[in-house]
Amino acid sequence: MRRRRLAPALATAAVTVVLALAPAAWSAPQVPADKPQVLSRWTQPSAASYQEWAEAREHRAAWAAYAFDWSTDHCTSSPDNLFGFPFSDACARHDFGYRNHRTAGLFSAAKARLDLAFHADMKRVCAQYSGPRRKSCDGTAWTYYQAVRLLGIS
């Protein structure tokens, strides 16, 4: 008879402990406090910033705690490889900057820098060419830059 009374009491105690611990166990993980600094570091116009972002993109699972938005539509409605110039990675980093700065509430302060970084990324693509091909690439990069500078909102 004593066992029958003890079992419900133990079950009640176990449920109480689980419920007391539940909020800590079920709460969403905290995003690291340095997320804005990491985001800023990965969206500067420098080649080093681009390389750091590209490395992180390659190993994005390691950055899961930061909850970055890695999605991209590349160059939106513009061709990713207009005239054969491969700008899709520059567009992907630009999307990364726009989307994540917008989510963080930092877009207005960062937009000009993000657009400059986009232009710098495309100019680095153009640096592999010479002569008229380079001039054509630089002109295309300038056109894309002007479009996002004036019209970029997403």
- Return the domain boundaries, the chain: 31-151
Nearest C-alpha neighbor of 56 from the set 69, 46, 45: 69
Question: Which string of DSSP letters, residue by residue, matches 78-94?
Answer: S-TTGGG---HHHHHHH
Amino acid at 11: A
Checking if the pLDDT of 22 tops 60, the result is no
pLDDT at 6 over 70: no
Which is catalytic among the residues 59, 74, 94, 119? 94
Given a contact cutoff of 8 angstroms between Cβ atoms, the answer to whether 53 and 42 are in contact is yes
pLDDT in tens, 69-126: 999 887 776 655 667 899 999 999 999 999 999 999 999 999 999 999 999 999 999 9
Give the Cβ contact number of residue 86 at 10 Å: 13
**Is the pTM here over 0.85, yes or no?**
no
| Contact predicate 96/39, CB 8 Å | no
Has 94 been annotated as catalytic? yes
As given in the structure block, the two tokens for residue 55 are: 């490395």
Instruction: Pick the closest to residue 122 from 150, 98, 152, 146 (CA basis).
Output: 146
Which class is 31-151 in CATH? mainly alpha
